[in-house]
Amino acid sequence: MKKLIIVTGGAGFIGSGIVWKLNKLGEDNIIVVDEIDNIKWKNLLGLKFVDYVEKDDFLNDVINGKYDKFEIDTIFHMGACSSTTHPDAKYYIKNNYEYTKILCKYALNKNIRFIYASSAATYGDGSQGFFDNEDELEKLRPLNMYGYSKHLFDLWAKHNGLLTKIVGLKYFNVYGPNEYHKGDMRSFVAKAYEQIKSIGKVRLFKSYNPEYKDGEQLRDFIYIKDALNMTIFFYKNKNLSGIYNIGTGQPHSFNQLVTAVFRSLGLQPNIEYIDMPQEIKNQYQYYTKAELRKLFSCGYNLPITDFETAISEYVIKYISKNKYLADYDD
pLDDT at 282 over 90: no
Question: Is residue 148 among the annotated active site residues?
Answer: no
Catalytic annotation, pick one of 165, 182, 294, 317: 182
> What is this structure's pTM?
0.96
Q: What is the dihedral of CA 132, 138, 139, 143, to 10 degrees?
A: 90
DSSP E strands in 165-232: the ranges are 167-171, 173-175, 202-205, 218-219, 221-223
> What domains does the chain contain, in order, with CATH numbers?
4-175+221-247+289-304 (3.40.50.720)
* 77-111 burial: b if 16+ Cβ within 10 Å, else e: bbbbbbbbebeeeeebeebbbebbeebbebbeeee
Note the pLDDT tens digit of each residue in 173-213.
999 999 999 988 899 999 999 999 999 999 999 999 999 99
Catalytic annotation, pick one of 123, 146, 287, 314: 146
- Phi/psi of residue 137, nearest 5 degrees: -55, -40
* CB-based contacts of 140, cutoff 8 Å, min separation 6: 122, 123, 124, 128, 151
pLDDT at 84 over 90: no
Q: What is the overall mean pLDDT for the chain?
A: 95
* CB-based contacts of 304, cutoff 8 Å, min separation 6: 222, 226, 248, 249, 250
Query: In the sheet where 113-119 sits, what is the strand order?
Result: 51-54, 30-34, 4-8, 72-77, 113-119, 167-171, 242-246
Mean pLDDT within 110-139: 94
* 136-152 burial: b if 16+ Cβ within 10 Å, else e: ebeebebbbbbbbbbbb
pLDDT at 100 over 70: yes
DSSP track, 57-72: HHHHHHHTTGGGGS-E
pLDDT at position 1: 65
Residue 197, CA distances (Å) to 178, 256, 261, 265 in order: 19, 18, 11, 10
Question: Is residue 146 among the annotated active site residues?
Answer: yes
Question: CA-CA distance, 224 to 233, in Å (whole number)?
Answer: 14
pLDDT at 82 over 90: no
Pick the closest to residue 264 from 232, 228, 308, 204 (CA basis): 308
Q: Are 68 and 45 in contact (CB under 8 A)?
A: no
Question: CA-CA distance, 99 to 167, in Å (whole number)?
Answer: 16
Sign for the pseudo-dihedral over CA of 31, 34, 35, 39: negative
